[in-house]
Chains A and B, each alone.
Chain A
Amino acid sequence: MQVGTQALRPNVFAKHLVARSHSTKKNRRTILAALSLTSMVDMFSLLVIFLLQTFSTSPELLVMTKGVQLPVASSGAEITDAPILAIAQDEIFLDQKSVGTVVDVLKDPKGLLAQLQVFRENWSKAHPNEKFKGEINLQAHKDVPSTVISQIMGVLPSQQYGSIQLIVTSGGS
Chain B
Amino acid sequence: MASANIGGGSSGRRKSLDAEINLVPFIDLLSMCICFLLMTAVWVQLGSVQVKQANGTEGAAEAKDTLDLDVKFLAENQVTLSVKSKGRVVKTYQVQGATMADLATAFEKQVQDIQAQMKSQGEISAVMLTPKAGVSYGSMISIMDVLRKNRLVNLGVVPVNPLSGG
Contacts and interface: CB of A to CB of B under 8 A. Distances in A.
Contact of A147 (B131, B148, B149): B131
Contacts of B47: 73, 75-79, 167-170
B148 A169 contact: no
A164 B50 contact: yes
B159 interface: yes
Interface in A115-162: 137, 140-151, 153-158, 160-162
Measured as residues with beta carbon below 8 angstroms from the partner, the interface class of chain B is 35 or more
B44 interface: yes
Interface in B61-110: 73
Interface of A: 9-11, 37-38, 40-41, 44-45, 47-48, 51-52, 54-56, 60, 62, 64, 70-80, 106, 137, 140-151, 153-158, 160-172
Nearest to A51: B37
Interface of B: 1-3, 20, 22-23, 26-27, 30-31, 33-34, 37-38, 40-42, 44-56, 58, 73, 131-142, 144-145, 148-149, 157-162, 166
Contact of A142 (B48, B54, B138, B166): B138
11 contacts: A9-B20, A41-B26, A45-B30, A72-B138, A74-B149, A75-B49, A142-B137, A143-B138, A148-B162, A150-B131, A169-B45
